[in-house]
Amino acid sequence: MNAFAQKPGRREAQKDATRARILETARDHFERHGFEAANVRAIAADAGVAAGTVLLHFADKRDLLHAALFDDLAATAAEAVRDEAPGPLEQRLHRLGAAFFAYYARRPALSKTLLREALFADPPWQARFTEQIAAVHGRIVELFNAARAQGEVADDADPALFGAAFFSFYYFALIAWVQGAHPSPVALLDRLVAQHLCGLRPAANVRRAR
């Protein structure tokens, strides 16, 4: 292959590596200093690039914040929805929720910012965060349908509606944890899901549970 043909590929790889380094540095700064106090020049210096380089990759500090949050959360979501380990529905939903809360626990100070920005981001990030939620919702529907086929839930239970209920429980647990009102969001989510599923079990299973 002609050596000149390889240069664009190398340039793209270098560009991607620079972007990744800026994002990782930005996450650390946002976690340690908060969004308002974080400084693009300081982020650039710690990433080993000029401030202008940061602004070549990202429009401004808020765009950098959204990119940092989106990329990080996207990796967590991709790993969570790929989990194919078998088990009853409650167990599989537990693993799904636990994967996200483990991410938040690694960056607790950034969790409040992430929650606010994911819910109220401006375009184009609003659409991107919505796509992430839709992908996870789709996975929950798949898990619910698989459980229904195994007789874990009633045949007339609505999988899409259950997915919406799961997200309402998930965000309630997340908000409670971020505000310091509950020490264990995973346990709270598990209890909320379990109670909801009690009303969706096949009639025979409900009678046996009683």
End position of a domain, from candidates 14, 33, 58: 58
User: Which residue range(s) make up the domain with 145?
Assistant: 66-209
What pLDDT, on the 0 to 100 scale, is given for residue 18? 97
- Residue pLDDT, tens place only, 64-94: 998 988 888 888 999 999 999 999 999 999 9
Asked if 102 and 21 sit in the same domain, the reply is no
- Residue pLDDT, tens place only, 130-183: 999 999 999 999 999 999 999 999 999 999 999 999 999 999 999 999 899 999
Tally the domains of the chain: 2
End position of a domain, from candidates 58, 82, 97: 58
Residue 11's CATH number: 1.10.10
Asked if 19 and 70 sit in the same domain, the reply is no
One-letter amino acid at 138 equals G
Averaged confidence pLDDT in the chain: 90
Asked if 129 and 189 sit in the same domain, the reply is yes
Asked if 52 and 77 sit in the same domain, the reply is no
What pLDDT, on the 0 to 100 scale, is given for residue 205? 56
Asked if 48 and 149 sit in the same domain, the reply is no
Q: Which residue has the higher pLDDT, 190 or 72?
A: 190
Asked if 76 and 52 sit in the same domain, the reply is no
Asked if 46 and 90 sit in the same domain, the reply is no
Residue 141's CATH number: 1.10.357.10
Distance separating alpha carbons of residues 67 and 118, to the nearest angstrom: 11
The structure's pTM equals 0.84
Asked if 6 and 74 sit in the same domain, the reply is no
Asked if 71 and 51 sit in the same domain, the reply is no
Distance separating alpha carbons of residues 28 and 177, to the nearest angstrom: 21
Q: Which of these ranges, 22-36, 42-56, 109-123, 139-153, has the smallest mean pLDDT?
A: 109-123
Q: Band the pLDDT of 110: cuts 50, 70, 90.
A: confident
What pLDDT, on the 0 to 100 scale, is given for residue 208? 44
Asked if 114 and 157 sit in the same domain, the reply is yes
Burial label, 5 (beta-carbon count in 10 A; 0-12, 13-18, 19+): exposed
Q: Which of these ranges, 12-26, 34-48, 104-118, has the smallest mean pLDDT?
A: 104-118
